[in-house]
């Protein structure tokens, strides 16, 4: 409930404020968003498995975001930023898919 | 290994006095009866957590708030990124930029081509419209001119009115009358009406049964000829010495009066004749 409410608040704020993100942050924001999405879906899966822990969620959220950002930052330092971005996106995508499939199994029992 | 050693050790003991054996046995039992084992260390049980019950609602609120904040962050970041994704050339790699550039330039050239095509089309349409307009103007002028020429339209303008009174017993020759018309034409008469008959290209005058007949209309004296053109030239053409006016006066004794008029109105018209054989050259 809190998660849905928070999502709605964030989206509405983003729509109404429409701020310009600083250029330094520009390559990292999509990665952060995807990582956070993965954390959220992992939390949803844990919720359906009745093993949801808010502590774990908060930690996984931050660790996901920070790890992804650091990875892309490292890639930018090494000159392979876009490739690492792709790698992160791919991994997060796979995780999102597996989480969604687990959630689907819990919802549809199959 | 240890067991065998102990066994032998015990046998050795037994060989000694029983008292010491018993003492030894007691010592060994004390060691062996210890419940502590090496592989499974006993973990002391935690005292039941007191905080869980007391702070349950508060911690739940805090964590749900935290979750909400994180989700809000996620949604916010998502929207921001979704809004800013169009102008993020900075995050593109060289390859992507090059591809984008190529695509854009090819698109530009395509659009230029299209523009050229459309401009050509527009120009051709414009010129066609112009041509059509010109053709229409020309057709209008032609229509007027030829309408006046062919006698299809009434006309008015400066000109002269010539009244020819035939002397009784001296009928005027048809050829002389036609000569008069030709003289007027030579003098630049644009429209001529001969005694109520509009003169056109095929007009003829003949004498039938003592009467002048012009295009099938029998005429009677006096003949009034109206001509539109430069009045003085027309008058000169008729009144010139040795001209058709003097011919009429001298040969036929007719009275010829030429009058310059500011506005000669010729309202007689002729139906245009449709050509049966002649067609326009295309």
**A88 preceded by a cis bond (ω within 30 of 0):** no
The string of pLDDT tens digits covering residues A6-29 is 888 888 888 888 777 777 777 788
pLDDT of residue A20: 74
HSE-up of B67 (CA within 13 Å, CB side)? 23
Q: How far is A108 from chain B (nearest CA, A)?
A: 25
Give residue B67's pLDDT band: very low, low, confident or very high (50, 70, 90): confident
Question: Is residue A53's pLDDT more than 60?
Answer: yes
**Does residue B217 form part of some domain?**
yes
Structure tokens at A88: 């992160």
Q: If you average pLDDT over every residue of chain A, what do you get?
A: 86
The string of pLDDT tens digits covering residues B177-233 is 888 888 888 888 888 888 888 888 788 888 888 788 888 888 887 888 888 888 888
pLDDT of residue B278: 84
CATH code, domain with B256: 3.30.70.1880
Cα(B267)–Cα(B107) distance, integer angstroms: 68
Contact A78/B at CB under 8 A: no
The string of pLDDT tens digits covering residues A54-75 is 888 888 899 999 999 999 888 8
CB B3 within 8 A of CB B28: no
Residue written as tokens 């709605």? Answer: A8
Chain A residues within an 8 Å CB radius of B68: 2-3, 5-6, 9
Provide the residue range defining the domain that includes A76: 27-109
**Quick check: B90 and A23 CB within 8 A?**
yes
pLDDT of residue B186: 87
Question: Is residue B239's pLDDT more than 90?
Answer: no
Question: Is residue B156's pLDDT more than 90?
Answer: no
More confident position, B250 or A100: A100
Contact A18/B at CB under 8 A: yes
Chain B residues within an 8 Å CB radius of A32: 77
Pick from A8, A9, A32: CB nearest B77 = A32
Give residue B95's pLDDT band: very low, low, confident or very high (50, 70, 90): confident
**Quick check: A58 and B68 CB within 8 A?**
no
**Does residue A15 form part of some domain?**
no
Structure tokens at B107: 């698109």
Chain B residues within an 8 Å CB radius of A46: none
Structure tokens at B199: 């003169």
Q: Among candidates B233, B256, B153, which has minimal Cα distance to B200?
A: B153
**Does residue B194 form part of some domain?**
yes
**Does residue B218 form part of some domain?**
yes
Pick from B67, B80, B96: CB nearest A57 = B67
**Does residue B116 form part of some domain?**
no
Q: How would you class B7 by CB atoms within 10 Å of its CB: exposed for 0-12, middle for 13-18, buried for 19 or more?
A: exposed
Give residue B1's pLDDT band: very low, low, confident or very high (50, 70, 90): very low
Model pTM greater than 0.80? no
Q: How far is B109 from chain A (nearest CA, A)?
A: 30
**Does residue A4 form part of some domain?**
no
Pick from B64, B75, B91: CB nearest A11 = B75
Residue of A33, A44, A84 for testing the chain B interface, max B β-carbons within 10 Å: A33
Give residue B11's pLDDT band: very low, low, confident or very high (50, 70, 90): low
Provide the residue range defining the domain that includes B169: 151-266
Beta-bridge partner residues of B162 = B225, B258
The string of pLDDT tens digits covering residues B260-272 is 888 888 888 887 7
Q: How far is B99 from chain A (nearest CA, A)?
A: 15
Contact A73/B at CB under 8 A: no
The DSSP annotation for chain B comes to -HHHHHHHHHHHHHHS-HHHHHHHHHHHHHHHT----SSSPPPPPPPPPSHHHHTHHHHHHHHHHHHHHHHHHHHHHHHHHHHHGGG--TT--HHHHHHHHHHHHHHHHHHHHHHHHHHHHHHHHHHHHHHHHHHHHHHHHHHHHHHHHTT-S-EEEEEEEEEEEPPTT-PPPHHHHHHHHHHHHHTT-SEEEETTEEE-TT--EEEETTEEEETTEE--SSEEEEEES-HHHHHHHHHSTTSHHHHHHHHH--EEEEEEEEEEEE----PPPPPSS-----
pLDDT of residue B2: 46
Pick from A7, A14, A54: CB nearest B80 = A14
pLDDT of residue A29: 85
Cα(B77)–Cα(A68) distance, integer angstroms: 15
Task: Answer yes or no: is the ipTM higher than 0.90.
Answer: no
The count of structural domains within chain B is 1
Cα(B179)–Cα(B170) distance, integer angstroms: 17
Question: Is residue A102's pLDDT more than 80?
Answer: yes
**Does residue A14 form part of some domain?**
no
Q: Stretch B233-262: mean pLDDT, rounded?
A: 84
Minimum Cα–Cα distance from A2: chain B residue: B68
pLDDT of residue B261: 87
CB B67 within 8 A of CB A57: yes
The string of pLDDT tens digits covering residues B15-62 is 668 888 899 988 888 877 776 665 665 667 766 655 555 667 887 788
**Does residue B231 form part of some domain?**
yes
C-alpha torsion angle, residues B217, B223, B226, B231 (rounded to 10): 150
Chain A residues within an 8 Å CB radius of B97: none
**Quick check: A36 and B88 CB within 8 A?**
no
Q: Stretch A38-42: mean pLDDT, rounded?
A: 89
> Cβ–Cβ contacts within 10 Å for residue A88, how many?
22
Give residue B256's pLDDT band: very low, low, confident or very high (50, 70, 90): confident
**Does residue A97 form part of some domain?**
yes
Cα(B86)–Cα(A23) distance, integer angstroms: 13
Using CA atoms, how far residue B262 sits from B145, B154, B197, B227, in Å, is 21, 16, 21, 11
Residues of B with CB under 8 A from a CB of A: 63-85, 88, 90-91, 93, 96
The count of structural domains within chain A is 1
**Does residue B134 form part of some domain?**
no
Q: Stretch B84-111: mean pLDDT, rounded?
A: 81
Residue written as tokens 């001209």? Answer: B243
Q: If you average pLDDT over every residue of chain B, what do you get?
A: 81
Chain B residues within an 8 Å CB radius of A30: 81, 85
**Does residue A13 form part of some domain?**
no
**Angle CA B4–B7–B11, to nearest 5:** 140
Question: Is residue B121's pLDDT more than 90?
Answer: yes
**Does residue B49 form part of some domain?**
no
**Does residue A96 form part of some domain?**
yes
**Does residue B145 form part of some domain?**
no
Of the listed ranges A65-69, B89-93, B111-115, B268-272, the least confidently predicted one is: B89-93
Please give the distance of CA B62 from its chain centroid, rounded to a whole number.
65
The DSSP annotation for chain A comes to -HHHHHHHHHHHHHHHH-PPPPGGGTTTHHHHHHHHHHHHHHHHHHHHTT---HHHHHHHHHHHHHHHHHHHHHHHHHT-HHHHHHHHHHHHHHHHHHHHHHHHHHHH--
Phi, psi for A18 (deg, rounded to 5): 50, 60
Instruction: Report the percentage of chain B scoring pLDDT > 70.
Output: 84
Question: Is residue B6's pLDDT more than 60?
Answer: no
**Does residue A100 form part of some domain?**
yes
**Does residue A87 form part of some domain?**
yes
């Amino acid at each position: 409930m809190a998660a849905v409410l928070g999502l709605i608040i964030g989206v509405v704020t983003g729509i109404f404020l429409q701020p310009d993100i600083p250029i330094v942050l520009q390559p990292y924001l999509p990665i952060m968003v995807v990582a956070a999405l993965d954390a959220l879906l992992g939390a949803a899966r844990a919720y359906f498995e009745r093993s949801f822990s808010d502590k774990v969620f908060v930690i996984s959220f931050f660790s996901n975001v920070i790890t992804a950002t650091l990875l892309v930052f490292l890639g930018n330092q090494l000159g392979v930023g876009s490739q690492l971005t792709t790698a992160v996106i791919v991994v997060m995508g796979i995780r999102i898919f597996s989480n969604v499939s687990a959630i689907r199994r819990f919802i549809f029992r199959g | 290994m240890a067991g065998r050693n102990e066994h032998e050790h015990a046998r050795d003991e037994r060989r000694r006095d029983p008292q010491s054996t018993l003492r030894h046995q007691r010592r060994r039992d004390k060691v062996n009866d210890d419940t502590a084992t090496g592989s499974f260390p006993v973990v002391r049980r935690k005292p039941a957590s007191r905080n869980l019950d007391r702070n349950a609602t508060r911690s739940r609120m805090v964590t749900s708030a935290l979750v909400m904040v994180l989700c809000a962050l996620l949604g916010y970041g998502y929207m921001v990124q979704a809004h800013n994704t169009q102008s993020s050339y900075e995050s593109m790699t060289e390859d992507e930029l090059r591809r984008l550039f190529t695509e854009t330039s090819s698109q530009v050239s395509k659009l230029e081509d299209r523009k050229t095509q459309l401009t050509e089309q527009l120009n051709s349409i414009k010129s066609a419209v112009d041509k059509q307009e010109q053709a229409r103007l020309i057709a209008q002028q032609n229509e007027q001119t030829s309408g006046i020429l062919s006698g299809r339209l009434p006309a008015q303008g400066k000109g002269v009115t010539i009244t020819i009174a035939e002397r009784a017993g001296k009928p005027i020759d048809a050829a002389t009358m036609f000569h008069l018309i030709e003289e007027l034409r030579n003098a630049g008469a644009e429209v001529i009406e001969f005694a109520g008959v509009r003169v056109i290209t095929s007009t003829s005058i003949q004498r039938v049964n003592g009467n002048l007949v012009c295009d099938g209309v029998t005429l009677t004296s006096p003949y009034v000829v109206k001509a539109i053109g430069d009045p003085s030239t027309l008058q000169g053409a008729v009144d010139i010495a040795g001209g058709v006016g003097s011919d009429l006066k001298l040969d036929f004794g007719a009275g010829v009066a030429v009058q310059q008029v500011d506005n000669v109105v010729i309202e007689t018209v002729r139906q245009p004749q449709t050509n049966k054989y002649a067609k326009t050259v295309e």
